[in-house]
Amino acid sequence: MNFLQRVLSNYFLAWSQIFNYTDKTRRVPFWHFFILDGLIGALISLSSNNSLANDPNSFYVMAEGYDWSYLYSIPSFLVFLSLLIRRLRDIGKENLALWAFCSFIPFYNLYIFAQPSSENK
């Protein structure tokens, strides 16, 4: 399986386990979803408001269109929460509510999720 197939496979695997909070998620599948989801979210956000193409010098035109990215970002956030809990479980964290809250701190979350898997199975 090549790299792109693995990334897409891990991305759709995360979506299929949207309500799975009990298993574990390894580091590579987590980052595959995290990066691809960020790219897709950015593309949807940029393409949902195309009024900048009509008048690129007007700042107020940006507020006129509907931001369709909410239709993607809300379910995507639910997938991310389940991945977050499973990833914290994989690295061996005990108090999942506290660690889930701490994982929303910028740059510290990158450190948390880059941790290797715990030896405890």
Average pLDDT over residues 16-44: 93
Say yes or no to pLDDT of 68 above 80.
Answer: no
DSSP-derived secondary structure letter, 104? T
Burial class of residue 41 in the structure, from the number of CB atoms within 10 Å of its CB (0-12 exposed, 13-18 middle, 19+ buried): middle
Q: In the structure encoding, which two tokens stand for residue 100, read together?
A: 């889930």
What was the pLDDT predicted at 58?
59
Report yes or no on whether pTM surpasses 0.85: no
What was the pLDDT predicted at 65?
55
Cβ-contact 1, 9 below 8 angstroms: yes
Average pLDDT over residues 18-38: 94
Question: Phi/psi at 18 (nearest 5 deg)?
Answer: -65, -30
pLDDT digits (tens, 9 = 90+) for 73-119: 899 999 999 999 999 999 999 898 899 999 899 999 999 999 998 87
